[in-house]
């Protein structure tokens, strides 16, 4: 759990969109400029990502292209487990295609680091991140690029706020049978973290009891947002706050639920694989992700800013007022594959 | 080797011999090598390469994995059965009766064929989701019922959706067989006292039994190779099938060896099915072409012709009109769940794809040129092989024909894993390259091209070529100036069919694409992961428009029934 103090929060609120824009166009520091010159010779960078939604990933890619003309960002967006699967296939085939790898499942980085598959690099901009995100790896093989909040949401036409579940264990109540929707830990990294956290907090029986309510299983953690929007299911479990707020902003009857125990926080890094075909562009992209330009681009689509100098998105609860639950990266490395297998035994898919 | 021996040897080497060698090499690369490689690695330890049975034990060591295999077989059988029930009456009606609306029926069959199955699946989620699907919403509003009328997230729901986009294959097979039966056989039955229905049941349909069975088997094989529909409908419905299970073996750590071991029995099942087909058809005669002319009259159905038309209309509604309508609505909607209203209309989804999405335009281009390249390669290869086989230019020519047809009985996903095993890694390291995808598509659809070319060449009597050769033309010259022009139309038809099936191909592509070589179908799959159906629908719409433009051009050049020319 981490806290920003009130004074910092007030300072954040004072930021206007214009100020953010100025930050996105902020002059490059020497290391960044040097990398940019080298990256221009490489011309492009390929980004495997499962962190931000498709819209926000594309927005981030465009923000990169605007800030660094002459270096093109290829956005390859999928769920995190699928992105990792593609990276593993690349390694297995001995073909380097990915320059920067971004997954919501932090365990991936522990594994890649142990396999000596990551490049050691610390972007200068990382010093300006939120304190808890500044040093995810003391050896600097990976750097923070994403802070995702996963909680519950409900369709306000189908379930009133009073009736809606309040805690993670409320959804085990049989009255929610056929009303829930959730992603899949075999595809979504965040759902892997969520399932692991639930197992840790409530014991191994949690998933089995959850299954009895026959939740609709999608692939991405964002899928339940669609199911709620459509009215197919009334409550989404472990949905990302950003996509839910984004859907609500388009006029859909959705509302967030902050579970009493706390929200799942994916504090997720990005890293450069050793077989990256454009190593300088990859480093430049890490500077971009840790710098203000990324946070400025994605906050417009309701994602959390990962820097104190870029204000948080509108409509989400300030981070200092929520309890954040998260397995450590080491727990995730071992635990997520385990819980994924357990999930498949219970759910059949 | 002495200098004088050389020319003598070369004199024995006819150019056609060189061609033969080149074709053998091409077929080895495309068909034989991936399969052999897959068979080999299924017995290899991952790291050491030692011989082992371990992969088979892992692949079949769990109930869940065996269930997936059983589910696939049942799904294949059910989808094929539904397709047959849908298509046979339609084919009979269009081929042999005076049913009205034949043009409309044709258009519906063609549209159902062009529509990628995963797009149809998304359309049907919007239609038959138990709570939000339009059909169920309407049903509840009309009757006040609380239970849904239809639920797409079930085994039968999934089989039905697959059948709605597979039945055109049965239709094409059966109709072309029916077109060849002369009315004399039916007349004979009538004279002996059989009515229209008895005749159809006892005489006409049994005569086309091989085509029905052939169509059934093809759909069975296509269904067990499908990846998109099981991922989109099967996961929420909690139905694991072979393809989604194979996908799991590609999770980290990538276990290609286990995937190969898991896929090999599919080949055995396929071989068994072909065996059963042979057995069922043996010792019976299906000769409908006697060479004694015979006219073909339309059966007069009276009022029943409207019943049959109703059936075709219903199929058209379910397979094309309804899913297309909801997909179109979703593609222009801010939120599809909010229905048809003016304030829900937006162009945002199209704008996002065309102007804001990094790879959507590139994926579109990839799809067009990969499909065109593989269609061209498949047709050229098939034409050469078919020419050698039909004209019996070489000994062992039939072997070539056999290899060219082999992918017909290999589920597409098995083919893809073979390609991954053989060419993705060192020494070639083709993983993610355009070449690998084009080769895989070429191999996968070679049988369609081959069947097409073979039929086309058979139809050209050798006399015409011989005449040219007597007048002093070389073989190549004769082919170029005489045979090729005669074949142009039917080859273009075959090219179109391969182009269409390649443009919607997902199950092979998903294992082979890289970041720069994603096709529209793979991107659609990635987009559908988030359940963002508005954008997915818009992208599907773009894919359909592109395909329709190309089919439209093709129909101008070839004629409306180009799909039929393969028989």
| pTM of the model as a whole | 0.89
Q: In chain A, which residues have their Cβ closer than 8 Å to the Cβ of B67?
A: 348
Kindly determine whether residue A55 and residue B352, on different chains, have CB atoms separated by under 8 Å: yes
Measured CA distances, B265 to A237, B57, B61, B222 (Å): 39, 13, 14, 16
Does the distance separating the beta carbons of B236 and A217 come in below 8 Å?
A: yes
Nearest CA in chain B to A46: B515
Answer yes or no: do A93 and B424 touch at CB < 8 A: yes
Instruction: Point out the residue among A93, A216, A230 whose CB comes nearest to the CB of B337.
Output: A230
Contacts of B256 in chain A (CB under 8 A): 92
Rounded to whole angstroms, the Cα distance separating B366 from B517 reads 7
Q: How far is B489 from chain A (nearest CA, A)?
A: 41
Which residue in A has a C-alpha nearest to residue B125's C-alpha? A232
Q: What is the pLDDT of residues A75-104, one digit of tens each?
A: 999 999 999 999 998 998 888 999 999 999
Residues 400-439 of B with CB under 8 A from A: 420, 424-426, 429, 431-432
Residue A226 contacts B where some CB pair is shorter than 8 Å: yes
> Which residues in chain B show pLDDT less than 50?
1-6, 565-567
- Across the interface, do A219 and B253 touch by the CB < 8 Å criterion? no
What mean pLDDT value characterizes chain A? 91
> What is the pLDDT, as a whole number, of residue A8?
46
B-proximal residues of A, 48-77, CB under 8 Å: 48, 53-55, 58-59, 61-62, 73-77
Q: Decide if A172 contacts A206 (C-beta within 8 A).
A: yes
pLDDT tens for A299-342 read 999 999 999 999 999 888 998 899 999 999 999 999 999 999 99
- Out of B338, B356, B425, closest to residue A93 by CB: B425
B259 touches chain A (CB under 8 A): no
pLDDT of residue B562: 67
Distance from CA of B122 to the nearest CA of A (A): 13
Pairing between β-strand A44-49 and β-strand A263-271 as defined by DSSP bridges = unpaired
B516–A74 C-beta distance less than 8 A = yes
Question: How would you write chain A as a 3-class SS string?
Answer: CCCCCHHHHHHHHCCCHHHHHHHHCCCCCHHHHHHHHHHHHHCEEEEEECCCCHHHHHHHHHHHHHHCCCCEEEEEECCHHHHHHHHHHHHHHCCCCCCEEECCCCHHHHHHHHCCCECCCCCHHHHHCCHHHCCCCCCCCCEEEEEEEEEEEEECCCCCCCCCCCCCCHHHCHHHCCCEEECCCCCCHHHHHHHHHHHHHHCCHHHHHHHHCCCEECCCCCHHHHHHHHCCCCEEEEEEHHHHHHHHHCCCCEEEECCCCCEEEEEEEEECECCCCCHHHHHHHHHHHHCHHHHHHHHCCCCCCCCCCCCCCCCCCCHHHCCEECCCHHHHHHHHHHHHHHHHHHHCC
Instruction: Please indicate if any CB of chain A lies within 8 Å of the CB of B533.
Output: yes
Cβ A105 vs Cβ A82: under 8 Å: no
Partner-chain contact B424 A184, CB within 8 Å: no
Whether the per-residue pLDDT at A154 is higher than 70: the answer is yes
For range A227-249, the mean pLDDT: 93
Q: Which residue of B has its CA nearest to A64?
A: B358
- Stronger pLDDT, A123 or B289, i.e. the higher one: A123
CB B129 to CB A232 under 8 A? Answer: yes
User: What is the pLDDT confidence band of residue A15, given thresholds at 50, 70 and 90?
Assistant: very low
- What does the pLDDT read at residue B186? 82
Provide the 3-class DSSP secondary structure of residue B181: coil
Q: In this predicted structure, what is the pLDDT of residue B3?
A: 46
Between B428 and A105, the higher pLDDT residue: A105
Contacts B238 to A, Cβ<8 Å: 217, 347-349
Q: How far is B330 from chain A (nearest CA, A)?
A: 11
Largest CA distance in chain B: 95
pLDDT digits (tens, 9 = 90+) for B66-83: 999 999 999 999 999 999
Of B130, B131, B238, the CB nearest to A217: B238
In this prediction, residue B100 carries a pLDDT of 93
Q: How far does the CA of residue B213 sit from the closest CA of chain A (Å)?
A: 32
pLDDT value for B4: 46
Q: Is A88 on the interface with B (CB under 8 A)?
A: yes
- Chain B residues touching residue A345 (CB < 8 angstroms): 64
A&B contacts, CB < 8 Å: 152
Tell me if A93 and B429 make a contact (CB, 8 A cut-off).
Answer: yes
Q: Which of A58, A223, A349 sits opposite B531 (nearest CB)?
A: A223
A227 at the B interface (CB within 8 A)? Answer: yes
Q: Is B356 on the interface with A (CB under 8 A)?
A: yes
In this prediction, residue A20 carries a pLDDT of: 53
Report the gap between the CA of B68 and the closest CA in chain A (Å). 9
Candidate from A138-152, A258-272, B408-422, B515-529 with smallest mean pLDDT: B408-422
Half-sphere exposure of A216 (CA within 13 A, CB side): 29
Contacts of B140 in chain A (CB under 8 A): none
Residues in B touching A84 (Cβ below 8 Å): 252
| Structure-model confidence comparison of residues B363 and A14, the more confident one | B363
Task: Assign 3-class secondary structure to B543-561.
Answer: HHHHHHHHHHHHHHHHCCC
Residues from chain B that touch A98, judged by Cβ atoms under 8 A, are 515
pLDDT band at A292 (very low <50, low <70, confident <90, very high): very high
- Alpha-carbon distance B112 to nearest alpha carbon in chain A (angstroms): 26
CB contact, 8 Å: A85 with chain B?
A: yes
């Amino acid at each position: 759990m981490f806290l920003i103090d009130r004074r910092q929060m007030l300072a954040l609120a004072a930021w206007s969109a214009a100020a953010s824009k100025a930050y996105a166009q902020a002059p490059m520091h020497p290391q960044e400029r040097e990398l940019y010159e080298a990256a221009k010779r490489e011309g492009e960078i390929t980004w495997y990502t499962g962190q931000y939604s498709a819209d926000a990933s594309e927005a981030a890619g465009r923000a990169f292209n605007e800030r660094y003309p002459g270096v093109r960002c290829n956005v390859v967006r999928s769920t995190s487990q699928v992105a990792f699967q593609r990276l593993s296939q690349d390694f297995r085939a001995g073909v380097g295609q990915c320059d920067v790898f971004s997954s919501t499942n932090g365990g991936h980085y522990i594994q890649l680091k142990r396999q000596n598959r990551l490049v050691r690099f610390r972007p200068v901009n990382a010093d300006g991140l939120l304190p808890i995100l500044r040093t995810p790896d003391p050896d600097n093989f990976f750097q923070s690029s994403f802070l995702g909040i996963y909680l519950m949401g409900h369709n306000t036409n189908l379930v009133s706020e009073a009736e809606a579940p309040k805690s993670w264990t409320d959804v085990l109540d049989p009255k929610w049978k056929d009303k829930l929707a959730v992603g899949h830990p075999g595809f979504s990294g965040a759902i892997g973290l969520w399932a692991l956290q639930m197992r840790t907090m409530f014991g191994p029986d949690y998933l089995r009891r959850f299954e009895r309510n026959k939740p609709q299983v999608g692939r991405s953690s964002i899928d339940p947002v669609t199911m709620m929007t459509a009215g197919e299911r009334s409550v989404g479990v472990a949905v990302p706050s950003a996509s839910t707020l984004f859907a609500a902003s388009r006029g859909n009857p959705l509302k967030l639920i902050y579970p009493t125990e706390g929200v799942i926080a994916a504090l997720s890094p990005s890293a450069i694989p050793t077989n990256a075909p454009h190593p300088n562009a990859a480093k430049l992209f890490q500077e971009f992700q840790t710098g203000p330009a990324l946070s400025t681009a994605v906050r417009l689509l309701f994602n959390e800013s990962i820097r104190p100098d870029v204000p948080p998105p509108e409509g989400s609860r300030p981070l200092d007022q929520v309890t954040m639950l998260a397995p450590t990266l080491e727990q995730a490395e071992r635990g997520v594959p385990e819980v994924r297998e357990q999930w498949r035994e219970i759910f059949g898919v | 080797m002495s200098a004088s021996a050389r020319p003598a040897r070369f004199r024995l080497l006819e150019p056609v011999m060189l061609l033969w060698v080149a074709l053998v090499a091409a077929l080895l690369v495309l068909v034989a090598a991936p399969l052999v490689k897959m068979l080999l690695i299924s017995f290899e330890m991952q790291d050491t390469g030692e011989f082992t049975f371990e992969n088979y034990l892992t692949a079949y060591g769990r109930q869940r994995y065996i269930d997936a295999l059983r589910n696939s077989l049942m799904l294949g059988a059910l989808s094929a059965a539904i397709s047959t029930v849908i298509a046979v009456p339609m084919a009979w009606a269009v081929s042999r009766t005076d049913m009205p609306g034949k043009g409309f029926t044709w258009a519906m069959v063609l549209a159902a064929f062009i529509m990628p199955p995963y797009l149809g699946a998304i359309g049907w989620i919007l239609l038959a989701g138990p709570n939000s699907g339009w059909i169920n919403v309407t049903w509840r509003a009309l009757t006040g019922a609380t239970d849904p009328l239809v639920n797409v997230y079930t085994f039968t729901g999934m089989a039905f959706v697959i059948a709605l986009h597979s039945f055109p294959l049965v239709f094409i097979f059966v109709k072309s067989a029916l077109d060849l039966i002369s009315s004399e056989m039916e007349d004979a039955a009538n004279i002996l006292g059989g009515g229209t229905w008895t005749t159809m049941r006892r005489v006409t349909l049994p005569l086309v039994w091989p085509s029905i069975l052939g169509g059934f088997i093809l759909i069975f094989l296509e269904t067990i190779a499908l990846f998109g529909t099981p991922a989109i409908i099967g996961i929420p419905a909690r139905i694991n099938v072979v393809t989604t299970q194979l996908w799991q073996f590609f999770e980290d750590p990538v276990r290609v060896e286990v995937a190969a071991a898991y896929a090999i029995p599919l080949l055995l099942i396929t071989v068994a099915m072909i065996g059963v087909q042979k057995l069922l058809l043996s010792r019976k005669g299906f000769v409908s072409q006697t060479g004694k002319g015979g006219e073909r009259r339309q059966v007069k159905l009276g009022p029943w012709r409207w019943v049959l038309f109703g059936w075709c209309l219903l199929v058209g509604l379910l397979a094309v009109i309804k899913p297309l309508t909801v997909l179109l609505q979703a593609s222009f909607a801010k939120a599809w769940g909010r229905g048809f209203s003016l304030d829900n209309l937006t162009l945002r989804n199209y704008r996002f794809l065309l102007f804001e999405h990094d790879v959507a335009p590139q994926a579109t281009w990839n799809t067009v040129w990969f499909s065109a390249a593989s269609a061209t390669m498949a047709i050229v290869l098939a034409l050469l092989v078919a020419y050698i086989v039909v004209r019996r230019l070489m000994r062992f020519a039939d072997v070539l024909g056999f290899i060219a047809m082999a992918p017909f009985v290999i589920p597409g996903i098995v083919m893809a894993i073979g390609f991954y095993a053989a060419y993705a890694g060192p020494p070639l390291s083709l993983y993610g390259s355009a070449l690998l995808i084009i080769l895989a598509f070429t191999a996968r659809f070679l049988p369609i091209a081959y069947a097409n070319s073979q039929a086309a060449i058979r139809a050209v009597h050798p006399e015409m070529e011989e005449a040219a050769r007597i007048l002093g033309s070389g073989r190549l010259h004769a082919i170029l100036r005489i045979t090729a022009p005669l074949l142009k139309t039917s080859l273009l038809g075959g090219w179109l069919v391969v182009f269409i099936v390649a443009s919607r191909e997902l199950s092979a592509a998903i294992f082979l694409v890289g970041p720069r070589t994603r096709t529209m179908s793979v991107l659609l799959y990635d987009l559908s992961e988030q359940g963002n159906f508005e954008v997915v629908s818009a992208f599907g719409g773009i894919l359909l428009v592109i395909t329709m433009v190309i089919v439209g051009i093709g129909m101008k050049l070839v004629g409306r029934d180009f799909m039929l020319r393969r028989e």
